[in-house]
Amino acid sequence: MHRRVYGKNRGSAGECGGESLFAEGAETAPGGGDEGRGSCHGRKNRIRREGICTVGKFETTVVPEFGRIRKRLEEGASAGELAAMLNISVSTLNRYRRQHPEFQRLFEEAKAAADDLVEAALLRRATGYENGDGKEIPPDVRAAVFWLKNRRPESWKDRRELKVSDPVTVTFKPEEKDL
């Protein structure tokens, strides 16, 4: 156990547990590296003197909320909503995502799960389905077109690009220049 010191000159101390980001009995931090048992939380840049480590706001307020964060991301929460939930700014949230690969992975996995749900619902809506009451819901043409425009844009996009290989000269008559 290490003594936890919150930030500079805050004077609040407690037990940090020392291994909160390590798997049970692990010799190194997740993902390997040379951060061994002697480094608090697997972070090289933490101050480690005589069993004292500094634990930042990420470890004390964000890590314990990983389950809630995942749930909110799967529900479609925005970065602003998550930042408000964690009582931090959006820029701090984005900095944590850059600095902590496990946090960035959490975002990617939870957002992918939400996207999969929406994709499945859109496919059901585009092809028709039977609801829980036994009522048949017919296919929705708009959902089908949306699906095809995004999944097969080469065949379904609204605009066609015209490639011109020869140079084209455009001349304007004097009265057309003022338009």
* Structural domain spans, the chain: 1-55, 114-156
CB neighbourhood size of 53 (10 A): 19
Mean pLDDT (the chain) is: 74
pLDDT bucket at 101, cuts 50 / 70 / 90 = very high
pLDDT bucket at 18, cuts 50 / 70 / 90 = very low
Q: How many CA atoms lie within 13 A of 59 on its CB side?
A: 21
Q: What percent of the chain has pLDDT over 70?
A: 66
For 106, the 3-state DSSP assignment is helix
Give the pLDDT confidence score for residue 90 in this predicted structure: 95
pLDDT tens readout for residues 31-86:
444 343 344 445 444 444 444 455 688 888 899 999 999 999 999 899 999 999 99
Residue type, position 138, single letter = P
Q: Order across the sheet with 13-15: list the strands.
A: 13-15, 3-6, 52-55, 48-49
Q: Give the Cα separation of 80 and 46 in Å (integer).
A: 28
- List the structure tokens of 22: 């390590």
